[in-house]
A and B are shown apart, each in its own frame.
Chain A
Amino acid sequence: MARTLATNELPPVSATQEIIEKSKDSIEKSPHPAYLHHLATQIQHNLQYQHSWSALTVHTHSPLTSVALPRPMISGLPPKRAYIHPDEQVAVIKEEHDTGKKIEQIPEREWVLPTHIKETFTLSSFAKVFNAIGVVPPGESSQDEYDEDDEKPVGHQWQGENRQKRLLLATLDEDSTVTYYIMHDGIVKPRQN
């Protein structure tokens, strides 16, 4: 008797489901529909457990204007630099060659835009997303702030607030695969050419 009952029981909830359950209260208060939150949660889960990102935050409001974002977005810290500008790479290699010392690439906080493969976007909606976010996501950065007087590190022209506005376009497929693309606001030359 106990065995037949067991087949009617639901299997244990998945890790993603647990996160969704836990965030139920905050979703109800959010300006965005629940499915967008679930999408963000799933991307966040993928970043955290598959790509070892840390300091992940879901943003519902623009850090610039405090108006609601077009959809919930994620910011986080990748385990290593997600993007190095080709000119920065050249400068770093040159400096390493000249001094013989290796230059550490400290990861920077990145914006992530969760999307689903079955969705459609428009240039206008991308523009709205970019207009609503700052160059660097708010929050703790592992990068040490350098003083004005200090010698600026090699490649600082392409780091922090000096970098071109960018985000990671995370696209979720039906089978929960996620692909990530670097998307720049404006023309930025490719990394390898």
Chain B
Amino acid sequence: MPHSSDLVAEPVPISLVAGRYLLYDIDVVTYLRRTHNICGVLIGGIPQAPQQNVFQGLPLELLPEEAKLLVDQNIGYVVDDAAWHENHYTTLHGKDRQNYLESLRAQGLKASQALNAVARQKQEKALARQAIVRATKSADSEREEIGGASPSKDTDKMTPTEAENPSSRPISPAPSDVSKFSSRAWDASKPLAMTPSTSYNSSSLPRNPNPPPVPIAPASYPLFAHLHARKYFMMPGLRFGCNYNVYPGDPLRFHSHFLATSYGWNEEIAMLDLVGGGRLGTGVKKGFLIGGEDVESEGEGDLVRTFVLEWAGM
């Protein structure tokens, strides 16, 4: 089944807002997670549930490591959001402006039509169900010859669809034809007001004339890239006091395997930290992974060396 995220074209724009790397397009978010093992963290509040912070929505904030990796591998590129908007919308006059407004209207119209189609389908289904109910009822009443009681019952009862959606409940007790329904259905010719989550189409955005520098990632970046190249998924490791929680697959499907902490090649590691990390990891059924880039090696490519600690049980 094709997904809308399949239509995402690389490289994708990453918005740089106040030093944070953000994604506003849900298709891009899904695409990066599905294809490139990039999870990020959702940081936006959900309009329907603004008082909780367990489940968050768009935008998605990328770790600097993730942003750097995407830029390095040419999967994404950074757009300075403020500068781009200033530049774009102050020069939006005349025909360009008209075109932009027209595109918004077209989007609104499309959404309105889609809503209308859904509403229509719902009503037709309800009608069909009502027709069946009525047919069986009339057959029953004819057979039992009890008149008068059944019509009043008919008006009292609502079909489940009507109960769910009171606004679509007919004013008259039992409309008999579809034309009455469609008159009350959504006015499909009226566009909805649109507030797009991104101000540009990911494919139509021109490249930055002077792009911001490649994101500066922390010293743990080599370890991050090493694990990412091995198809692991990384999430921020704050809750276990490490750099990354390392998952063998999508974090929605798997428990993490490792608590990963990056060290410099000649950085001193206290034995107590290894014992503490190893014990914490074993306590939560994970391995404690330490690693870093071998700066002394003369080899090429990925020079990261990793060690995994687990309690020996003795």
Contact = CB atoms under 8 A, between A and B. Distances in A.
Given A82-B312, A121-B268, A181 B275 contact: yes
Chain A at the B interface: SS class: mixed
Interface in A72-102: 82-83
A193 B306 contact: no
A124 interface: yes
Interface string A113-151: 001111111111011001000000000000000000000
Interface residues of A, number: 34
B275 A117 contact: yes
Nearest to A172: B271
A121 B311 contact: no
Contacts, number: 104
Contact of B308 (A119, A184, A193): A184
Given A180-B312, A181-B312, A123 B292 contact: yes
Interface in B228-281: 230, 248, 255, 257-258, 263-272, 274-275, 278, 281
A153 interface: no
Contacts of B312: 82-83, 168, 180-182
Given A115-B271, A122-B268, A123-B290, A190 B257 contact: yes
Interface of B: 227, 230, 248, 255, 257-258, 263-272, 274-275, 278, 281-282, 285-287, 289-292, 294, 296, 305-312, 314
Interface of A: 51, 82-83, 115-124, 126-127, 130, 168-169, 171, 179-193
Q: Which 9 A-B pairs have the closest CB atoms?
A: A120-B268, A180-B312, A190-B287, A184-B308, A181-B278, A182-B310, A192-B285, A182-B312, A181-B309
